[in-house]
């Protein structure tokens, strides 16, 4: 296996996988083009990618993969490049993969680690964009603005039903599942902007995160404890096999009298949507705001004509602020790796 020292004796090769939505930092991108041999990914499918990674293929001597831009945008949104099956084709020269975004549930990090490949995401680069989306969805779940807008366009008089349904979040409790960067920022906005009380659930209490929120926030020892006291539940935690359908029938049945509101800006499969739809019929769930969905792309057909729910096409991240942050941190990791032998914010540890 080629060492980093021998790699630096030649011009490193970086494969760039991007999308139609990307922002470049002018000076940084010029520096990258000067320092590295840049290859641009243009495979028709993952099978072609694997063929190019094979000995003698176009990508058989790459040192780094940088996947930047909006991952959900075309043309490669459905190309899962970092799975265990694909990792079998990675050449021994490949030492680092950097991918934009906070989540990495589509990446088999253990498989990469076993092959000695560092993997980095870009933490805290789309926090503001997603937190703003979360705040909008929280407010919409109380005031049903999606239904109101539908009425404004199609049936003005029908909006009057909101007179007995809509309420303000002031003084109600927001329960945050996952007090990471996005959970913290959303909690701050909800408390200071909407006057909400706060509680949260993590696998363990995090005093540093509580301090960062800046206002009073109560730790719940269990998910059950959080659901029993929350008027609105914000799902902001990572998706894993252990958190699959963490909100389902049993959890929705814990709703306070008057029902709970559910907002999800994390991953769709954290919620059992069939159970949530039934909970709406049972009036256990009385407001919904979803940026993510269980079977993306697309939404459950039940939401198509339900304007009392607010549903977005996974665009919480969608802001120039995010693209700038993605690009900056991606290339900072590459530069740090070639300067020091270690990237700035690896998800895994390579000994």
Cis peptide bond prior to 351, omega within 30° of 0: no
More reliable by pLDDT, 102 or 76: 76
- Which residues fall within 8 angstroms of residue 124, CB to CB, at 6 or more apart? 102, 181, 325
Residues facing residue 309 across a β-bridge: 288
From 237, 123, 122, 135, select the one nearest 185 (Cα to Cα).
Answer: 135
Instruction: Give the global pTM.
Output: 0.90
Tokens 């996947």: give the residue: 67
Which CATH number is 127-311's, of 3.90.440.10, 3.90.1170.30, 1.10.490.10, 3.40.50.720?
3.40.50.720
Confidence of residue 114 (pLDDT cuts 50, 70, 90): very high
The catalytic residue positions are 267, 296, 314
The Cα–Cα gap between 268 and 103 comes to 13
Task: Tell me the domain boundaries of the chain.
Answer: 4-125+320-340, 127-311
Tokens 């390579």: give the residue: 350
Arithmetic mean of pLDDT over the chain? 95
Q: How far is CA 173 from CA 190, 233, 259, 321, in A?
A: 10, 9, 12, 29
Please give the average per-residue pLDDT across 57-62, as a whole number. 96
pLDDT of 6 over the 70 cut: no
From 146, 134, 138, 173, select the one nearest 258 (Cα to Cα).
Answer: 173
The domain defined by 4-125+320-340 carries CATH number 3.40.50.720: yes
């Amino acid at each position: 296996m080629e060492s980093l020292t021998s790699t630096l004796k030649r011009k490193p090769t970086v494969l760039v996988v991007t999308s139609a939505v990307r922002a470049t930092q002018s000076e940084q991108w010029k520096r990258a083009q000067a320092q590295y041999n840049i290859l641009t990914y243009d495979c028709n499918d993952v099978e072609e990618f694997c063929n190019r990674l094979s000995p003698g293929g176009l990508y058989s001597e790459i040192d780094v993969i940088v996947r930047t831009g909006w991952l959900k945008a075309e043309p490669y949104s459905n190309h899962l490049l970092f799975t265990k099956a694909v990792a079998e084709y990675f050449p021994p020269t490949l030492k680092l993969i950097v991918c934009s975004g906070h989540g990495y549930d589509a990446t088999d990090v253990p498989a990469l680690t076993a092959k000695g490949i560092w993997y980095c995401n870009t933490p805290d680069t789309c926090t503001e964009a997603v937190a703003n989306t979360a705040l909008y969805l929280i407010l919409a779940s109380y005031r049903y603005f999606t239904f109101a807008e539908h009425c404004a366009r199609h049936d003005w008089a029908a909006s009057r039903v909101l007179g007995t349904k809509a309420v303000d979040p002031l003084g109600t409790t927001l329960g945050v599942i996952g007090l990471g960067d996005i959970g913290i920022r959303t909690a701050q906005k909800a408390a200071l902007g909407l006057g909400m009380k706060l509680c949260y659930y993590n696998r363990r209490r995090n005093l540093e995160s509580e301090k960062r929120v800046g206002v009073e926030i109560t730790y719940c020892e269990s998910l059950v404890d959080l659901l029993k006291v929350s008027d609105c539940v914000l799902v902001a935690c990572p998706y894993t096999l252990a958190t699959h359908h963490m909100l389902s029938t049993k959890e929705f049945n814990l709703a306070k009298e008057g029902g709970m509101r559910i907002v999800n800006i994390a991953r769709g499969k954290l919620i059992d949507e069939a159970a949530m739809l039934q909970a709406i019929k049972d009036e256990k769930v009385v407001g919904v705001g979803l940026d993510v969905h269980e079977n993306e792309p697309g939404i459950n057909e039940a939401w198509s004509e339900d304007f009392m729910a607010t549903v977005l096409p996974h665009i919480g991240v969608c802001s120039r602020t995010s693209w700038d942050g993605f690009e900056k941190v991606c290339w900072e990791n590459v530069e740090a790796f070639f300067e020091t032998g270690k990237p700035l914010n690896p998800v895994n540890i390579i000994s």
